Structure 1
Amino acid sequence: MLRIATVNINGIRATLRRGFGEWMTGRDADVVTLQEVRCTLADLPDAAFGGYHAVYEPGTIPGRNGVAVLTRQPPAAVRTWGAEVLVRAAGERHTSTVPAQTPTLARGISRYAAEGRYVEVDLADAPLTVASLYLPKGGLPAHLQRPGRMREAPDGGAKYQRKMHFLDAFARQLTRARREARAGGRELLLTGDLNVAHTHLDVAAWRRSQQAEGFLPEERAWLDEQLSPRTLVDVVRRLHPDTAGPYSWWSWLGQSYAADVGWRIDYHLATPGLARRAVRAEVDREHAGTRLSDHAPVVVDYDL
């Protein structure tokens, strides 16, 4: 059995204070993928990655983004979109980066190469490529922006346009990654925070969220296009076909968490052969009574 967990930790130092290290030890996952690590290499806590071998792509934006893949065994290969990565064994404390392999990049994706949004590894002990993605949150298109009704100042749709550009470029890159994995005899698992909820089952308050970033029709249509029985399968939805949720993100504000008014935006998207081997999917809402982040770990067991 191969247990794989993904979680947007919203800052490694903050989540460690809430018990993330103890959660990692107790959950005993074989692979853990992280998003929004949000820490420079110099500031990484000694216990940041527990007893795992770590591949960390921090990006160059201070206090933002950062993705990682943690594995039991040293990875057989590491790939980014051109950025250097921290690669260290369990117990090591060095902070020097090394070049990663760079696949042929799809048109438009190199714009995001230094932002700490994507890293993938080939596992040494299974024919599987595991990727960690932090997709831009985005914003509203200009025609939906209402001054005084937004938490952020109107930007004329700039963040929306940037997200849509990323989605367009990443769709091409994802197709390449899937085909390269298949050519190498490996399955592909894309994990992470996609900042898109797919259907009404994935947003508790879906009716009033239809004009909210992350649930816009064009974002949902993009995710539709990535999923099919022949390309990528939403593993959690396959195992919970008619369930509202299980949600993986809740606002810190108000009673959203207590009332389970959440969003499902953290995914395991697997090639069909791997998806068929998924036997259990759970969301760890909290650890020892404490939320680790505004997101919760999504944990899937694969019968390999």
Structure 2
Amino acid sequence: MLRLATYNVNGIRAAQRRGFTGWKQRCLPDVACLQEVRCPYEALPMEAFAGFHVAYDAGELKGRNGVAVLSRTPFDAVRVWSDQAMFISPAGDARMAGADELSVPDYPLARPLRSFNHEGRYVEVDLADQPLTVACVYVPKGDSLLAPGIRSRDPLTDEQLAGVQRRYDRKMAFLAGFSRHLTRARRAAHAAGREFLVVGDFNIAHTRLDVKNWRPAQKASGFLPEERAWLSEQLSPRTLVDVVRAAHPDQDGPYSWWSWMGQAFARDTGWRIDYHLASPQLARRSARAFVDRDHGADERVSDHAAVVVDYDL
């Protein structure tokens, strides 16, 4: 059995202070994919990764993004969109890996993604002990001019409006390119005799079951019709399967993100925006799929919870 978790940690240093190591000891993942690590290479809390092989792309935007894959067994290959990543051994030895040590895909990076290649949004690994390719992604949050509260007493300035539009456009460009990338990566894994799994924070809730307060959310970034349609286009019984939704077809949630504000966590007023999207044969091998929700608001490691699936391999 392979236990694989995806977890937006909302800053690894803060998460470590709040109990990330305790989560690892309780959950016992074989592979953990992290988003929003948000830490420069030289400042990483190495104790957070003890016992794991790690591939980490911090990106170049200070205090933002950053994706990592942690595995109890070594990697056969590591691919990122930039030309460098950090490798960390289970003993805590860290070194920078340049382009000569990173695997090169058999396909080019989709043109719309090239402006994101320095942002630390994607890392992909081939596991050494399983015929499985695992990709970890952090999709841009985006924005919406229709969002509740966007029309205040003081109208937005032209500069503010331009900023909202720019964030919306960037997310839609990312999604357009990522659709092509997923198809290429999935086919490459299949050609190599591997199953394919992409996990991470997609910043999109797919259906009404995935947002507690779905009516007002229809005007908010993350639940816009075009975003939801994009996610629908990625899913089919022959391409990628939403593993958690397949395990919980009629359940509200299970949510994976709650605002820090108010009583959102206590009332379970959340969004499901963190996913396991698996090739069909791998999806059929899901034995258990769940959100590893913290017990109380004062115990939260992040504003997200880990999404965990046990794959019977």
TM-score by length of 2: 0.93
Give the structure with the higher percent helix. Answer: 2
What SS does structure 2 have at the residue aligned with 1:68? strand
Write the deviation string for residues 262-291 of structure 1: whole angstroms up to 9, x where unpaired.
Answer: 000000000000000001111111168611
Paired letter, 1:105: L
Contact between 1:23 and 1:287, CA under 8 Å: does it hold in 2?
A: no
Corresponding residue number in structure 2 for 1:264: 272
Give per-residue Cα distances to partners, 1:153-185, cap 9 Å, x unaligned. 432511001100000011001100000000000
Give the distance between the partners of 2:254 and 2:24, measured in 1 at CA: 21
Could you say which residue in structure 1 is the equivalent of 2:165?
157
Please tell me the residue identity of whatever aligns with 1:232.
L
Is contact 1:5-1:33 (8 Å) kept?
yes
In structure 2, what is the equivalent of residue 4 of structure 1?
4
Once the two structures are superposed, residues 189-210 of structure 1 have per-residue CA deviations (whole angstroms, 9 ceiling, x without a partner) of: 0000000000000000001111
**Counterpart contact for 1:142–1:156, Cα < 8 Å:** no
5+ long unaligned stretches in structure 1: none
Q: Which residue of 2 aligns with 1:106?
A: 110
RMSD: 1.8
Does the 8 Å contact 1:250/1:260 carry over to 2? yes
| Residue equivalent to 1:247 | 255
Aligned counterpart for 1:139 among listed residues 114, 122, 143 = 143
Is the Cα–Cα contact under 8 Å of residues 82 and 101 in structure 1 kept in the other structure?
no
| 2-structure distance, mates of 1:221, 1:156 | 21
Superposed, which structure 2 residues align to 1:1-304 within 5 Å? Answer: 1-99=1-99, 100-103=102-105, 104-141=108-145, 146-148=150-152, 153-154=160-161, 155-286=163-294, 290-304=299-313
Equivalent-residue separation in structure 2 for 1:38 and 1:149 (angstroms): 35
Q: CA 1:291–1:129 in structure 2 vs 1: closer, same or farther (change >3 Å)?
A: same
Distance 1:117 1:141 in 2: 25
CA gap 1:165/1:51 in 2 versus in 1, 3 angstroms: same
What residue identity is the alignment partner of 1:165? A
Deviations 1:109-153 (A, max 9, x none): 111111000000000111000011000000014798834289x94
- CA distance 1:70–1:287, change in 2 (3 Å): farther
Where 1:92 maps in the other structure, the secondary structure is coil
Q: Matches of 1:5 and 1:169 in 2, distance apart?
A: 25
Q: Aligned partners of 1:156, 1:196: CA distance in 2, in Å?
A: 17
CA contact (8 A) 1:209 1:215 kept: yes
| 1:47 match: secondary structure | helix
Q: Equivalent residue of 2:47, what SS? A: coil
Tell me the SS of whatever aligns to 2:93. coil
AA in 1 matched with 2:134 = V
Contact 2:20 2:48 in 1 (8 A): no
Unpaired stretches in structure 2, ≥5 consecutive residues? none
Give the 3-state SS of the residue equivalent to 2:206 in structure 1. Answer: coil
Equivalent pairs: percent with the same residue?
57
> What is the TM-score with the length of structure 1 in the denominator?
0.95
Instruction: Give, as a single letter, the amino acid of the residue that structure 2 aligns with 1:215.
Output: F
Q: Distance in 1 between matches of 2:70 and 2:12?
A: 13
